């Protein structure tokens, strides 16, 4: 019987989206237009198409205008950069998201760099990464910010806690560590080259698993009572007689839940937060664009 409390990201995200909808309606009244998010999809990657469709539906639900640009896989880098520049100049567009991964032959770093930092609601631009690093206002990547919201909702003040982030990606690991540091945690970034990884993780009051390896984090890695945030989402090979394999995180959920104080499930934990925070970042971009303060509670 699991002893850990479940951190319900789905429920928290629903509450956040409700507050965003209120903020978007108030913004539309003040600015005489909806906040606007442009989403660019290049090629026909099935997972990317699902994500883009989900983002469009989420925008519609909260009152954010969604501008979709679906381009063929053979789109040239020059054509994509030209579209981004038009979106940078478009007054109806507050946020720009280019769905990754891009088809081969397109330079992802160059594409991200072309997006105006003030419309970079994914928080991937190097200027926004730098702003996060030195504590200046900027856009924060959606998944780490969603994780921080869940942690603060569960634990309150994080000051003085020891946190271990497993994974050092620019999208999750590094910005997550910066956010925890800003929240006055003592932070360790662990990765594939970390010596005695289990022992390092065992020190932590807060564990963020973001490595992309199914069920890598085991029960004996976890300090009793620790809070575990599982960012991973991996599909296992299908069992005999089944068309699809199970979705699992980077944490062996059943056994870790016996030890941890609180844990996010997969699915239903961090995943719902990512799109909700994208909507929140877009609303913030709209307020900045219009010179208006962001409503409290967001």
- In the residue annotation, 122 being an active-site residue is answered as yes
- Choosing from 34, 94, 99, 120, the catalytic residue is 99
- In the residue annotation, 119 being an active-site residue is answered as no
- In the residue annotation, 99 being an active-site residue is answered as yes
- Choosing from 55, 119, 174, 223, the catalytic residue is 55
Closest residue by Cα to residue 126 from 134, 106, 165, 168: 134
- CB atoms under 10 Å from CB of 137, counted, come to 10
- Choosing from 94, 118, 120, 122, the catalytic residue is 122
List the catalytic residues: 55, 99, 122
């Amino acid at each position: 019987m699991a002893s850990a409390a479940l951190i319900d990201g789905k429920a928290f995200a629903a509450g956040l989206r409700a507050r965003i909808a209120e903020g978007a309606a108030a913004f539309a009244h003040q600015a005489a237009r909806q906040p606007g998010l442009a989403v660019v999809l290049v090629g026909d990657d099935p997972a990317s198409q699902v994500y883009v469709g989900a983002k469009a539906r989420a925008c519609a639900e909260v009152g954010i205008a969604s501008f979709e640009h679906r381009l063929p896989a053979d789109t040239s880098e020059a054509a994509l950069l030209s579209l981004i520049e038009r979106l940078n100049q478009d007054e109806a567009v507050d946020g720009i998201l280019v769905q990754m991964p891009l088809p081969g032959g397109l330079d992802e770093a160059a594409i991200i760099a072309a997006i105006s930092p003030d419309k970079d609601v994914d928080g991937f631009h190097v200027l926004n990464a730098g702003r996060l690093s030195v504590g200046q206002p900027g856009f924060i990547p959606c998944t780490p910010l969603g994780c921080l919201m869940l942690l603060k909702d569960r634990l309150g003040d994080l000051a003085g806690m020891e946190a271990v982030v497993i994974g050092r990606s620019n999208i999750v690991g590094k910005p997550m560590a910066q956010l925890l540091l800003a929240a006055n945690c003592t932070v360790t970034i662990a990765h594939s080259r970390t010596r005695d990884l289990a022992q390092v993780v065992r020190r932590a009051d807060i564990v963020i698993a973001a490595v992309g390896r199914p069920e890598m984090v085991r029960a004996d890695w976890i300090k009793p009572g620790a809070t575990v945030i599982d960012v991973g989402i991996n599909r296992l090979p299908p069992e005999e007689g089944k068309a699809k394999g199970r979705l699992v995180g980077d944490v062996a959920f059943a056994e870790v839940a016996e030890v941890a104080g609180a844990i996010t499930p997969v699915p239903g934990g961090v995943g719902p937060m990512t799109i909700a925070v994208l909507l929140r970042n877009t609303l913030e971009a709209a307020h900045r664009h219009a010179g208006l303060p962001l409503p409290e509670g967001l």
